[in-house]
Amino acid sequence: MNHTVVPGEPIGRLSESWRHCVGTGRLNLALRADYQDSLAMVQRDIGFRYIRGHGLLSDDMGLHRVSGGRVRYSFTYVDQVFDRFLELGLRPFVELGFMPTALASGEDTVFWWKGNITPPTDPDEWAALVRALLRHLIDRYGLDEVRTWPIEVWNEPNLVNFWKDADQEAYFRLYETTARTVKDVDARLQVGGPAISPGSDEWWAPFADFVTRRDVPIDFVSRHAYTSGPAQHVPFGTYQTLTAPELLLDQFDAPRRHLAGTALAGLPVHITEFNSSYRPDNPIHDTAYNAAYLAPVLTGGTELVDSYSYWTFCDVFEEENVPTSLFHGGFGLLTHRQVPKPTYHLYTFMARMGSHVLARGDDHLVCATDDGRVTVLAWQPVGGTDAPDALERHEVRLSVPLTGPRAFVRRERVNEHDGNAFGAWRELGRPRSPDRRTIEVLRDCARPAVEHRSAAVEGGRVLLDLALSRHEVTFVELIPVEPEEHVGLDDRRLLGGSDDRLVAEHER
């Protein structure tokens, strides 16, 4: 097999769209210690820019209160949540939903925590709530800051689960009322939608027609992307088929295709949720397969959309009630108690890639840093349910440009065994409520395997032969080395010093 020759000059910059936003469980959960510890860890290792979640206006956030016929807006929880986000370097990607009970026109709800999905009884009262919220946020955080926060109207109104009868016209009316209210507060606040789910692209044409015909403000469009089939339920879990991961990229590109030629063409596109499965109890999320499956999506989506938000950053998430086991198929990059899953490492690897793209391939991304390092992200391609089973071994062979006489080559691996706490959990007997020591063991087993070596740079290149095991994602960092002279040092005099690395350069 020949080596793929990586160009010495960049072909572009690596967009930050992959970490522009991340998803979260309902915002009330942000008050919990486990949630805050997990978010701090994610920000330390990955560094997302925005965070989006449901339930900002739901009753458990206490924003809209009625007593004795009088309305009071209480920002006690909103302030705590948003303060903490900003302290961690995250800005809110504001989703307006669900309906406060006192404003709701019906009793239809979603999830075990009963987010109300009905339109407001009085659009003017809804507008007053939105106006009060935005004015408070501006007073607290400053107008210039809040102008950077996208404001999304509702969540998946095309589904009866999230919007009463999936009534399109009712959603359009809600969007218009909300968008005009946002702009009344400040014309430079960003508002958008319709936050539709996969399989609903027939909404684009009427939505574009509605906002254009009525001159309704819109600053961005949003959509969700998943590639899983119908749910196959088992007790406390779900299995689903998966289509090829490239279909996620096709979904990312769908808004631009459907809006071409409309007044909405050219608007920023935000994929405000994506993952393999849309179920919070599908074990695929816990696996190395999920990381390999999403690797070409994470690397390939950077040029398609302005953001694509992984759903979600941790398993502190309760749509289907409180999880019954540490590993339960949750969406999170982290389990409860901060145990990293393989997909977490995919994101941490991306966070360490250089900003200058040298090469892209079906199984690799190569970048360069400003200080002369070269980074490689490589993965074993997997194709979903109908694809052949992944082989036990996958070869990636690259000729990588590098300066200097030698290179320090450091590699981290995540696969079915290495960096895989889910695999260790199964070997431990699948404890539903592991004790403190077992949690520590799982965290240890979640660390990627690390190897390193010295390599010659010949003709300005390093030959990199990577053998990837089944479902592996691997990260390689090549650092130029200029050996320094240490007069009098001769490592051959060390006991056991038979390795060439132990001979000082000037003594060779």
Tell me the catalytic residues: 156, 273
Structure tokens that stand for 256 in this block: 């631009």
Helix/strand/coil for 418: coil
Whether 9 contacts 403, CB under 8 Å: no
| Cβ count near 5 (within 10 Å) | 12
Whether 204 contacts 193, CB under 8 Å: no
Specify the residue for token string 């631009």. 256
Structure tokens that stand for 267 in this block: 């608007």
Structure tokens that stand for 489 in this block: 């040092």
- CA distance linking residue 455 with residue 154, whole number of Å: 54
- Listed residue (64, 61, 68, 67) closest to 101, CA to CA: 64
- Listed residue (108, 122, 137, 118) closest to 71, CA to CA: 122
Structure tokens that stand for 310 in this block: 């992984």
Rg (CA), the chain: 25
Alpha helix ranges (H) inside 76-193: 76-87, 123-141, 143-146, 168-185
- The rounded Cα 427 to chain-centroid distance in angstroms is 28
- The rounded Cα 51 to chain-centroid distance in angstroms is 9
- CA distance linking residue 375 with residue 92, whole number of Å: 31
Whether 283 contacts 464, CB under 8 Å: no
